[in-house]
Amino acid sequence: MPTHVKRAFKYRFYPTDAQAAELSRTFGCVRKVYNMALAARTEAWTRQERVNYNATSAMLTAWKKTEELAFLNEVSSVPLQQCLRHLQGAFTNFFAKRAKYPRFKSRRKSRASAEYTTSGFRFRDGKLTLAKMKDPLDICWSRPLPEGASPSTVTVSRDSADRWFVSMLCDDTPAPMPATAGAVGIDAGLDHLVTLSTGEKIANPRHERRDRARLAKAQRALAKKVKGSANRGKARLRVAKIHAMIADRRRDGLHKLTTRLVRENQTLVIEDLTVRNMVKNHKLARAISDASWTELRSMLEYKAAWHGRNLVVVDRFFPSSKLCSACGTITSMMPLNVRTWTCEGCGTTHDRDANAAKNLLAAGLAVTVCGAGVRPQREFSRTGQSATKQKTPRREP
């Protein structure tokens, strides 16, 4: 059955001076309203009172009537209302213990963006015109929208490299992929980005390392500039462009890799890595961040959901590296510097990453075929003693 999804299509556009000024004002007003509403809700929270979206919307109406905040009337009201809805969503996630307490938006560090609903834009004949603007945006249509699709929301943003983007949320039916019975275990690493259970190893491009010297030179030049000067702004932009280029290359490579894996396999098995804890190792933090394992998993998750593939996530305590894929013997110690090892039980010599990928695949197939668990008890992975009880595995769609 075709899968109907909400899909965002992102394009770069080139605003006129008037459009750029209008959008910059909108970004500033969105940030101002968000921070004021957050401050009001935080103050109410200290009094053990809850303020919902309707209350903050009424506050916005009152703020617009004051002389000090009259400038809020100069921009479209739609993005201002949307930022209040986003704040409500942030508090909902906080109360449900899915996220931390909302933070204030920073002019420098926060993403400059504004979201428009259907009442805040007009999309006709392939041209997008936002509220308070006379002319349509000059969009670089790098790929077509789905046939007959009409955006439900439009998000305009500007990144730190001073590039402008527009993201259109549309209903879409992803193109079906050819049926396959393939299954693969995927072990993420640093020497190789991923190692597959087939024995194939995908090289780690190390995008940040390629431009490390160039980035360091630009950062040194930025550090020497006087704060607040025009030259410092230019130097900051040069650093941001290098970071943007690195991120773009990394994202492009991950998209190509994940699309290939989803196209070729019906079942994909990965490990639940705690990247947040792993980057606390200062010797490996830069390399782990550059590999971007979290983004790799995120892409596999939504692409598998789109195309009807099965993605199995094995618990982080499963001893994939220490378990012999030939006889099942568990080695007590396996330091990171050990890349090949010989099983004491059967004498088989293993490549560490390839063996881990094979074990991940076997554990994932056990889930999909017979429902066995792959989340062992803590004693199973820490002491090497076999567990008699298996917990229910964490599974992703």
DSSP secondary structure, 95-150, as one string: HTTSS----PPPTTTS-EEEEEEGGGEEEETTEEEETT-SSPP-EE-SSPPPTT--
Q: Could you list the beta-strand ranges (E) of 143-289.
A: 153-158, 164-172, 183-188, 192-196, 201-203, 267-271
Instruction: Name residues of the chain where pLDDT drops below 50.
Output: 373-397
The pLDDT value recorded for residue 68 is: 95
With beta carbons less than 8 A apart as the criterion, state whether 272 and 317 touch. no
Q: Which of 187, 208, 290, 315 is catalytic?
A: 187
Residue 181 CA to its chain's centroid (Å): 29
The pLDDT value recorded for residue 89 is: 96
The pLDDT value recorded for residue 2 is: 58
> Which residues lie closer than 8 Å to 365 by C-beta, 6 or more apart?
183, 267, 269
**Residue 271 catalytic?**
yes
> Where are the domain boundaries for CATH 3.30.420 in the chain?
177-207+251-397
The pLDDT value recorded for residue 371 is: 55
Residue 82 has a CB neighbour count (10 Å cut-off) of 22
CA-to-CA distance for 267 and 2, rounded, in angstroms? 18
Q: Which of 172, 271, 290, 315 is catalytic?
A: 271
**Residue 159 catalytic?**
no
**Residue 351 catalytic?**
no
The pLDDT value recorded for residue 156 is: 97
Q: For residue 377, report the phi and psi dihedrals to the nearest 5 degrees.
A: -70, 160
pLDDT single digits (tens) 12-47: 999 999 999 999 999 999 999 999 999 999 999 888
Q: Was domain 177-207+251-397 assigned CATH 3.30.420? A: yes
The pLDDT value recorded for residue 1 is: 52
pLDDT single digits (tens) 249-302: 999 999 999 999 999 999 999 998 888 888 888 888 999 899 999 999 999 999
